[in-house]
């Protein structure tokens, strides 16, 4: 291990301050710190520090994404072959999906990290680890057949406009991965919605149709999948959003490691269930409703992107509400609006993307009122005091 260290120090030599490649230090440091936690020590104050750092936190999220990713790869192949009337072996299905999805991940990381490195060098700060998660999330929420150049453009848009324009990691208002998806959604609608895109090769092979459940419901068609299929995720959809089972596994990792706030996830589910129940009750109130409003509320929780969004996107600490009370309000509102957009807006059969982006925008406002509450308590105490002494 020592000789590796020596070798790295040798390679790093030209990048040290005062040497000619000094400007590119953040890039070489980013690579080095992936091998070794550096020898930096505390200067004062707390002389000891916790073992946790941002790398560890971000890698934990990547770990939590793995079940949904693996399942997504398999499901992409499985949907493809079953639509063709074949019964693929696990590996065959997985390889078909991997063949489609791995290039997307490679493009996303290459383009996104390239930009992150460039900005780190330009601004002279270290490379932040946030993109490790964003870069994996972006392909996971895209339809499987999206062209690679669209992935690249979406990534560029998300990193430049969604993140760096606001000052980089920690300063962005919108979730970068959802910004990428929203960009693709509005820029290339034919690749992002409809009923010919959700199953691999559906647009090329006529016998494959593969509509999503929400799409069928919006068109007032019969849904042929049962609840077990919806929950395990053997249904068409964006790559990794389909399996609520795998998402729950990821959610458990995030909640147990406390990397994601359980408050947001729980309140989001409560909000969505409440809206679902309300819409389900419409017929009893004399309103007819549509296929989506009459879809049982518990099914709303396990189809579409809701589960994936609330677990992996709404919990992004930078774009979510940051106060404890704020997180409850933020989560409930995401749940409510996600199902509301999903059911009542015919143009967007999936609502979670827009509802999270909407609440990202309102999160600072929610926090503002929570903070005001804390300030008011303090002011009240001061007023009471002045009254007493006066």
Partner 1 sequence: MPIDVKIKKGLKLNLKGEAKNSIEQAQKSKTVALRPSNFHSLVPKLVLKEGAKIKAGDEVFFSKYSDKTRVVSPVSGVLKEIKRGAKRKILEVIIEADDYIEYKDFGSMNPLESESSLVKERIFSTGLGIFLNQRPYNIPADADDTPKAIYISAYDTAPLSASHELVLKDKAEYFQNGINALTKLTGGKVYLGVDKQSATFLKDVQNVELITISGPHPAGNVGTLIHETEPMNRGERVWTINPEDVAIIGEQFKTGKYNAERTVVVTGSAAHENNRKYFKTIIGSEVKSFLTDFEDNSRIISGNVLTGEKIESDGYINFFSNTLTVIPEGNEYRMFGWVPFKDNDIHSASKTSLSWLFPNKKYDVNTNLNGEERALVVTGEMEEMMPMDILPMQLLKACMAGDIEKMENLGIYEVVPEDFALVEYTNTSKIEAQEIIRNGLDLMITEVG
Residue 269 phi/psi, 5° resolution? -65, -40
Number of residues written out for the chain: 390
CB nearer to partner 1: pick between 23 and 258 = 258
Neighbours of 192 (CB within 10 A): 20
Residue number, 23 or 385, with CB nearest to partner 1: 385
Would you put residue 351 in left (φ > 0), alpha (ψ -120 to 50) or beta?
A: alpha
Span from 112-120, 243-251, 296-304, 319-327 in contact with partner 1 (CB under 8 A): 319-327
Distance CA 155, CA 388 (A): 60
369 Cβ contact partners less than 8 Å away, ≥ 6 residues apart: 326
Closer to partner 1 by CB, 23 or 49: give it.
Answer: 49
The smaller minimum CB distance to partner 1, of residues 196 and 327, is found at: 327
Tell the smallest beta-carbon distance from residue 177 to partner 1 (Å): 15
- As measured in angstroms, the least distance from the Cβ of 50 to partner 1 is 5
Question: Where in 171-200 is the site for partner 1 (CB under 8 A)?
Answer: 171
Place of tokens 């001061």: 382
Name the segment binding partner 1 (CB under 8 A); options: 162-170, 199-207, 289-297, 337-345: 162-170
3-state secondary structure 128-159: CCHHHHHHHHHHHCCCCCCCHHHHHHHHHHHH
Nearest approach, Cβ of residue 257 and partner 1 (Å): 5
Short-list 147, 316, 293, 319, CA closest to 217: 293
CA 138 to chain centre: 7
Q: Interacting stretch for partner 1, rule CB under 8 A, among 145-153, 163-171, 195-203, 303-311?
A: 163-171
**Distance (Å) of CA 320 to CA 17, 70, 170, 310, 367:** 38, 27, 11, 11, 10
Task: Report, in Å, the least distance between residue 230 CB and partner 1.
Answer: 31
Nearer to partner 1, 170 or 189 (CB): 170
Residue 164 in contact with partner 1, rule: CB under 8 A: no
Map the footprint of partner 1 across residues 29-58, applying CB under 8 A: 33-57
From residue 365 to residue 384, the character string flagging contacts with partner 1 as x (rule: CB under 8 A) and all else as - is: ------x--xx-xxx-xx--
302, 318, 352, 359: which one contacts partner 1 (CB under 8 A)? 318
Structure-block tokens of residue 271: 């909000």
Q: In the chain, what is the straight-line distance between the N-terminal and C-terminal CA atoms, in Å?
A: 71
CA dist., res. 183 & res. 14, Å (int): 40
- State in angstroms the smallest separation of the CB of 202 from partner 1: 38
CB of 172 to partner 1, least distance (A): 10
DSSP string over 274-310: HHHHHHHTTGGGT----TTTTS-HHHHHHSTTHHHII
Site for partner 1 in 121-140 (CB under 8 A): 126, 128-130
Q: Give least dist CB 104 to partner 1, A.
A: 25
Q: In terms of CB distance, is 35 or 91 closer to partner 1?
A: 35
Q: What residues contact residue 86 under an 8 Å CB cut-off, 6+ apart? A: none
CB 81 to partner 1: min, Å: 35
Quick check: 16 binds partner 1 (CB under 8 A)? Answer: no
* Binding interface with partner 1 (CB under 8 A): 1, 4-5, 33-57, 59-60, 63, 126, 128-130, 168-171, 256-259, 261, 317-318, 320, 322-324, 327, 371, 374-375, 377-379, 381-382, 385
């Amino acid at each position: 291990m020592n000789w590796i260290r020596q070798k790295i120090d040798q390679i790093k030599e030209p990048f040290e301050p005062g040497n000619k490649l000094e400007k590119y230090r953040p890039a070489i440091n980013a690579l080095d710190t992936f091998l070794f936690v550096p020898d930096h020590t505390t200067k004062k104050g707390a002389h000891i520090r916790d073992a946790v750092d941002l790398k560890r936190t971000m890698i934990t999220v990547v770990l939590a994404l793995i079940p949904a990713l693996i399942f997504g790869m398999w499901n992409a192949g499985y949907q493809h072959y079953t639509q063709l009337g074949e019964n693929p072996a696990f590996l065959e299905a997985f390889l078909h999906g991997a063949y489609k999805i791995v290039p997307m991940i490679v493009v996303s990381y290459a383009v996104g990290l390239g930009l992150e490195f460039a900005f780190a060098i330009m601004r002279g700060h270290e490379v932040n680890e946030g993109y490790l998660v964003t870069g994996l999330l972006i392909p996971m929420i895209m339809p499987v057949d999206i062209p690679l150049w669209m992935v690249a453009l979406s990534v560029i848009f998300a990193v430049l406009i969604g993140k760096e324009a606001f000052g980089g990691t920690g300063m962005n208002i919108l979730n970068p991965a959802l910004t990428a998806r929203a960009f693709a959604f509005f820029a290339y609608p034919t690749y992002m919605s409809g009923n010919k895109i959700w199953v691999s090769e559906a647009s090329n092979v006529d016998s494959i149709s593969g509509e999503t459940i929400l799409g069928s419901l919006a068109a007032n068609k019969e849904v042929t999948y049962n609840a077990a299929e919806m929950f395990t995720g053997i249904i068409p959809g964006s790559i990794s959003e389909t399996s609520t089972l795998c998402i729950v596994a990821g959610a458990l990792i995030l909640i147990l490691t406390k990397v994601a706030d359980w408050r947001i996830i729980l309140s989001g589910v409560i909000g969505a269930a409440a809206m679902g129940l309300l819409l389900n009750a419409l017929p009893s109130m004399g309103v007819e409703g549509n296929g989506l409003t009459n879809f049982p509320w518990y099914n709303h929780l396990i189809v579409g992107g809701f589960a994936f969004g609330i677990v992996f996107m709404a919990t992004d600490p930078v774009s979510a509400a940051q106060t404890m009370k704020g997180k409850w309000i933020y989560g409930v509102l995401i749940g409510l609006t996600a199902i509301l957009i999903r059911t009542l807006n015919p143009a967007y059969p999936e609502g979670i993307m827009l509802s999270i982006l909407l609440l990202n925008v309102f999160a600072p406002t929610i926090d503002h009122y929570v903070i005001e509450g804390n300030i008011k308590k303090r002011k009240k105490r001061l007023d009471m005091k002045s009254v007493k002494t006066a």
